[in-house]
Amino acid sequence: MPAVSSSAFGPSVIRRYLPCLAALAMLAMGFAPPASRAGAKSPPDITGDWMVYPSRGKGGPPDPKLVAPQPTPLLLTPKYAGPYEAKRAAERESDKRGEPLANDSTKCIPNGMPQMMFPIYPLEILQTHGQVTIIAEAMSQVRRIFMDQPQTRIEDTPPTYFGHSVGHWEGDTLVVDTVGVKEDVLGYRDVPHSDRMRIKERLHLVAPDILHDQITIEDPIVLQKPWTFTFAYRRSPGYQMLEYVCDNNREYVDDKGVTRMKLQNH
Amino acid sequence: MSRAQALILIGAGSLGLAALLAPPAATAHHSFAMFDHVNRITLAGTVTRFEWTNPHVYIELDVPDGKGGAKHYSIECASVNVLMRTGWKFTDVHKGDTVKLLVNPLKDGSAGGMLETATFADGRTLGDSNPPGGVFER
């Protein structure tokens, strides 16, 4: 007689433990966390401090396999293309004259999205229950990515510097959708945007300590087609983020929009 | 394609080329075009005030004019954050210290400038920003 039919595992025993077995089976099939159900690994650990990669003059020559790929062509709609080029030309000219035009950063206004993701100072990423939080050391900027939540409609989203971000993991990639960035927040390379802008991000580790954020800007009013660029970061283990409060800004903007430095006599 | 669109495409192309030649610079607090990065000056004097603040640290300096008086200069340094990463401490400079500063002066001729290196009262010399060579992360 096979061992399974011995008294220890006889029909009465199975009957006695059937509810438990059923519960275990249900747990395994239907009530386990989504990652386990899909058989996928848990999300990668991107918690920690990150610096834009490569950093100029630091860390030696960059590894071509790890640097961010080139942006796709930027194609603005006719209404925005002319003024954008004119502004860039004016900035180049004013710099040549030694009278740089002011920008929001000069006025200690936060970069906002997406420029916050391309910082000169470190970024800190925190993965907590239901949320990924990204803190930029420069100007102590904070953005919150609400995980596994539906996105709000653009027309219902109040305009803010960092917008309203929702995210989810697709395998090893953190996919983020952001709407509701204030129209006067300038984008990467100072590209303007409308209140219809949507920012799509895909963050993934291309090496254990190199993170890429592929950003696609969709804006049917300003852009003829979506514009994609990527930022790369290197993990900075052991770094401790510093405070940054812009409370002694001695740069000011004169009546011609030129950046000046306030001199103090004593 | 309109002329403006063509211009933008050309612009994007040249930006791409620039990005290939050097990593694109992230946004600094402000353009440094108001300072003369070629004709540098050395200022030796007495600190009248040291502001350990953001977005910039400032050294206020009285420089003897050789006639018994002094000319006052306001020198902008990098941010607290960059200086700390460069090795500075908030105790490195005090009011009354004698320091020597290598400075990129203001192009408009007024008595101010941007720090390049500082030699402290105790003889140590530290840079203001990294890396040197006119590429600023401040």
Residues of A in contact with B15 (CB under 8 A): 71, 74, 189
Bond preceding residue B131 cis, omega within 30 of 0: yes
Question: Tens of pLDDT along A196-213?
Answer: 999 999 999 999 999 999
Token pair 């953190």: residue = A174
Q: Which residue has the higher pLDDT, A210 or B32?
A: A210
Q: Is the ipTM of this complex over 0.90?
A: no
Pairing of strands A48-52, A227-235: antiparallel
- A73 to B25: CB separation less than 8 angstroms, yes or no: no
- B81 to A246: CB separation less than 8 angstroms, yes or no: no
Residues of B in contact with A246 (CB under 8 A): 54-55
* Domain residue limits, chain A: 3-32, 48-261
CA dihedral of B11, B15, B35, B48, whole degrees rounded to 10: 130
Q: Does the model's pTM come out above 0.90?
A: no
Question: Tens of pLDDT along B58-106?
Answer: 999 999 999 999 999 999 999 999 999 889 999 999 999 999 999 999 9
Residue A15: phi and psi, rounded to 5, are -60, -40
Alpha-carbon span A56 to A52, nearest angstrom: 9
Q: Which residue has the higher pLDDT, B133 or A70?
A: A70
Q: Does B22 fall in a domain?
A: no
Supply the CATH number for residue B42's domain.
Answer: 2.40.50.140
Q: For the residues of B14-65, what is the DSSP string, one character each? A: HHHHHHHHSPPPPP-SS--TTB-SSS-EEEEEEEEEEE--BS--EEEEEEE-
**Which domain, by its residues, includes B81?**
29-127
Question: Tens of pLDDT along A40-76?
Answer: 679 999 999 999 999 865 667 889 999 999 999 999 9
User: How would you classify residue A108: left for phi > 0, otherwise alpha for psi between -120 and 50, otherwise beta?
Assistant: left
Question: Tens of pLDDT along A85-144?
Answer: 999 998 888 888 888 887 777 788 999 999 999 988 999 999 999 999 999 999 999 999
Q: What integer pLDDT is reported at residue B135 of this predicted model? A: 42
State mean pLDDT over B33-61.
94
Structurally, how many domains does chain B consist of? 1
Rounded to the nearest angstrom, the minimum Cα separation between A70 and chain B is 7
Q: For the residues of B63-94, what is the DSSP string, one character each? A: EE-SSS-EEEEEEE---HHHHHHHT--TTS--
Pairing of strands B41-51, A141-147: unpaired
